[in-house]
Homo-oligomer: A and B are copies of this chain.
C-alpha cells in the first residue's frame, strides 16, 4: 500500500510522448498498409511462442511495449485494412474513427443509464436518429418521433439474438409454451440466426428455400408456416436478409411482411452489410417494404468507416424491447423512463455497462459528411460493376450469383477445382485476399469491395491477377 499512487501511472509527459509515438505509428500503418502481405505467414502458436508464460512482476517500459507492436503483433495481423482485402465483408475503419475510439477510451464514461452518461446517451440518440433519415428508414424509428428507436450493439449477431429473445418473451407473455415457437430464415441466411435462435432457446428453426436469385421463396415460406401451424406449432420470428452473406441476395421483405403480419410474427431485417448502402437513395428499392419490419440492424463497422464494434439496431416499437430487458420491479419505475430525452440504454441490450461508441460514429458522420460517404459507397459499387462486366465478358468465368451491391461472386467455367485453384492463386499473391465459398456443392469466389483504402487501381490489379491465373482463354 502507499499514500500516493500517482507514481504508478504514466505521467502526463509520458502519455504525450508515447501518445504521439502511437499516432505516428498508426499514421505510418495507414500509409503503408498496402506494403504488407494481406495475410500473415504463420502457424498456430507462433505468436504465443514469442510471449512469456507469465505476466511481468515489474513494470515494463513503453519503449519495449511499442517495440513489441512490430516484433510480436505485426507478424500475426491479418490486414483487414489492406486495400487488397476482398474477403468476408470489410472491417470498416478510418483514421477519424480511431481518434473517436481513443477519446471515448480516455473518458471511460459508463453509459448504462442516462444519469451515468448524459452526453454519451444523447449523442447516441442523436446520431442514430440522423441515420434513420440518412438511410431512408421510417421516421417513427427516430427516438424523437417514436415509438421506435435505435441503440448501438456489438454486432449484428447480437441484434439478431436480441430480436429473437424479445419475440420469445412477447409470446411467453401471452401464455404460450416457448417450446412451440418457430424461427424462420432463408437457407442462405447467416449462421447468426441458428446461433441466436439456439441461445435464445428456440427449439424449432426452419431453413426456408430460396429462388434462383437466392432470396427467400415467399410462397415456400407461406407453405412452411401453414404446415407448422397445422402441426400445432407457433410461427414466432422471421428474418429477412437485406443482403445475404453468401451473395448479398435480397429477401422479398414486403411479401414476407404480409405473411409475418398475418401470423403475428416478429419480423427482423438483417442488413448488416447492405444497410450502409441505403445512404444512397438509388439502392433503397432493394429493401422495399422495410417500413413493415419490427426490427432492423446494420453495421457501420462493416461499410461505413466506423471501427468495430458499432452495430445499429432499431426497433419499430421500443416498449417491447424495454419490457423484455428491463429488470426494474414495478415499484422502481420512474417518471422519466418513457421520456425519450432520458433513455436508460441498459434496458436496450443484454449487457448492463456500455462504452461511448457513439462518439466515433459522430466523428465519422461529421468528418466525412453524408456526400463523401455516398461517394465512398457508390465508388465501390461502380468498381464492382466493372469487375462484374469483365467476368461476364470472359469465357473462362461466369457469375455465381447476381450482383446487387459491391460483392461480386463468380466461378471458373471449368468447375470447382479450377475455381478453387484460381482462389488459391489470388490469395497466394499476398496482395489480395478473396473468400472461396461453396453453395449447393458449387464452388465460387467472393470479391467484396469496400475496404477503406481500396482504390479503383487495386480492383484493376485484382482483375489482372484473376486474368493471369484463370488459364488460357
Total copies of this chain within the assembly: 2
A187 an interface residue at 8 Å Cβ cutoff? no
Q: A16-B24, A119-B72, A201-B201 are in contact. Are A351 and B103 (CB under 8 A)?
A: no
> Are the CB atoms of B105 and A98 closer together than 8 Å?
yes
CA distance A429 to B404 in the complex (A): 59
Tell whether, in the assembled complex, residue B30 and residue A77 are in contact, meaning their CB atoms are under 8 Å apart: no
Task: Give which listed residue, B177, B178, B199, B376, contacts A8 with CB less than 8 A.
Answer: B376
- Distance to closest chain B CB from A229 (angstroms): 21
Q: What is the size category of the interface that chain A forms with chain B?
A: 35 or more
Question: Nearest chain-B residue to A10 (Cβ)?
Answer: B95
Q: Which of B1, B12, B44, B168 contacts A118 (CB 8 A)?
A: B44
Q: Please tell me if the beta carbons of B23 and A27 are within 8 angstroms of each other in the complex.
A: no
Known: A62-B96, A72-B119, A199-B165. A16 touches B25 (CB 8 A): no
Contacts A5-B455, A56-B370, A198-B324; A307 near B105 (Cβ below 8 A): yes
> A202's closest neighbor in chain B, by CB?
B201
Quick one: closest B residue to A359, CB to CB? B73
Asked if B29 contacts A107 (CB within 8 A), the reply is yes
Complex CA–CA separation, A196 to B161 (angstroms)? 13
User: Does A309 sit at the interface, judged by CB under 8 A?
Assistant: yes
Q: How far is the CB of A132 from chain B (nearest CB, A)?
A: 10
Interface: A448 (CB within 8 A): no
Quick one: CB contact mask for A52-68 with B, threshold 8 Å, 1 for yes? 01111111101011000
Contact of A368 among B1, B8, B45, B191 (CB under 8 A): B8
Q: Which residue of chain B has the shortest Cβ distance to A113 in the bound complex?
A: B78
Q: Are A57 and B369 in contact (CB under 8 A)?
A: yes
Q: A194-210, CB under 8 A of B: which get 1 and which 0?
A: 11101111000000000
Kindly supply a per-residue 1/0 record for chain A positions 88-129, scoring 1 wherever the CB is within 8 Å of any chain B CB and 0 otherwise: 100111111111011101111110001111111011011101
CB proximity to B under 8 Å, residues A338-380: 339, 341-342, 350-355, 359-360, 363, 365-372, 375-376, 378-379
**Complex Cα distance A197/B22, Å?**
42
Check if A158 sits within 8 Å of B350, measured CB to CB: yes
The answer to whether residues A118 and B353 also contact, given A15-B95, A325-B199 and a CB cut-off of 8 A, is no
- A39 — which chain B residues lie within 8 A by C-beta? 115
**What is the 8 Å Cβ interface bit string for chain A, positions 150-178, against chain B (1 contact, 0 not)?**
00001111100100010011000000011
Contacts of A453 in B (CB 8 A): 9
Q: How far is the CB of A201 from chain B (nearest CB, A)?
A: 3
Contact of A161 among B40, B350, B382 (CB under 8 A): B350
Q: Which residue of the partner chain B has the closest CB to A99?
A: B22
Whether the pair A26, B106 counts as a contact (CB closer than 8 A) is yes
A23 to B102, CA, bound (A): 9
Shortest CB distance A297–B (Å)? 12
Contact of A25 among B98, B103, B117, B372 (CB under 8 A): B103
Q: A26-B103, A324-B198 are in contact. Are A122 and B45 (CB under 8 A)?
A: yes
Q: How far is the CB of A9 from chain B (nearest CB, A)?
A: 6
Query: When the two chains form their complex, are residues B198 and A119 in contact, meaning their CB atoms are under 8 A apart?
Result: no
CB distance from A226 to the nearest CB of B (A): 26
- B78 touching A115, Cβ below 8 Å: yes
Q: How far is the CA of A15 from the CA of B108 in the complex (A)?
A: 22
Q: A75 within 8 Å of B by Cβ?
A: yes
A residues 211-255 near B (Cβ < 8 Å) are none
Contacts of A31 in B (CB 8 A): 12
Contact of A109 among B18, B80, B154, B339 (CB under 8 A): B80
22 interchain pairs (CB within 8 A)? A8-B375, A15-B95, A19-B23, A19-B99, A23-B23, A30-B106, A55-B133, A56-B366, A59-B368, A64-B366, A76-B118, A76-B119, A78-B117, A78-B118, A88-B110, A93-B106, A178-B201, A179-B179, A195-B325, A195-B327, A199-B325, A200-B200
